[in-house]
Amino acid sequence: MASLLLDRRFGPLFVTQFLGAFNDNLFKTALVFLVAFHLRSGDPVGAATLATVATGVFILPFLLFSGVAGEICDARDKAMIAQRVKIAEIAFMILGAAALALRSEPLALVVVFLMGVHSTVFGPVKYAILPQHLAPAELLLGTGLVEGATFVAILLGQIAGGLLPAWVAGPVAILVAVLGWLASRHIPAAPPASQTPIDWNPVRASRRALGEAFANTDLRIATICISWFWALGAVYTSQFVPLARNDMGGSEGVATLFLAAFSIGVALGSAGVSRLLGGRISTRLAPWAGLVMALAGVDLFFAERGLLAAAGDVGQFLSRPSGWRVLADLMVLAIAGGIFSVPLYGVLQTATHPAGRARAIAANNIVNAGFQVAAVLAIGTAITRGASVPTVLIAAGFTVVLLIPLLRKLSR
Average pLDDT, the chain: 87
Residues 14, 154: one domain?
yes
306 backbone φψ class: left, alpha, beta (φ>0; ψ -120 to 50) = alpha
For residue 45, name the pLDDT band (cuts at 50, 70, 90). Answer: low
User: What are φ and ψ of residue 198, in 5° steps?
Assistant: -75, 130
Residues 90, 156: one domain?
yes
Distance CA 193, CA 356 (A): 8
The per-residue pLDDT for range 215-239, each reduced to its tens digit, is: 998 999 999 999 999 888 888 877 7
pLDDT for the residue numbered 404? 87
Percent above pLDDT 90 for the chain:
43
Alpha-helix runs per DSSP H in 104-216: 105-128, 130-133, 136-163, 166-184, 202-215
**Listed residues 142, 165, 191: the one ending a domain:** 191
The residue among 64, 60, 69, 63 whose CA lies nearest residue 88 is: 69
Q: Which helix (H) or strand (E) holds 296?
A: helix 286-305
Give the CATH number, domain containing residue 49: 1.20.1250.20
Q: How many residues does the chain have?
A: 412
Q: In the chain, how many domains are there?
A: 2
Residues 109, 228: one domain?
no
pLDDT for the residue numbered 302? 84
The per-residue pLDDT for range 333-355, each reduced to its tens digit, is: 999 999 999 999 999 888 888 88
Residues 165, 27: one domain?
yes
Distance CA 236, CA 346 (A): 24
Long-range contacts of 381-385 (CB under 8 A, 24+ apart): 383/242
**Contact by Cβ (8 Å): 149, 156:** no
Distance CA 224, CA 233 (A): 14
**Cα separation values, 152 from 1, 57, 84, 146, 399, Å:** 17, 22, 24, 10, 26
Residues 293, 270: one domain?
yes
The parent domain of residue 139 ranges over 1-191
The per-residue pLDDT for range 83-109, each reduced to its tens digit, is: 999 999 999 999 999 998 998 889 999
Confidence check: pLDDT of 268 > 90: yes
Establish if 196 belongs to a structural domain.
no
Distance CA 54, CA 226 (A): 23
Residues 102, 139: one domain?
yes
Establish if 197 belongs to a structural domain.
no
Residues 333, 356: one domain?
yes
**Contact by Cβ (8 Å): 340, 290:** yes
Residues 214, 307: one domain?
yes
Higher pLDDT, 317 or 64: 64
**Burial (CB count within 10 angstroms: exposed 0-12, middle 13-18, buried 19+), residue 313:** middle
Residues 214, 285: one domain?
yes
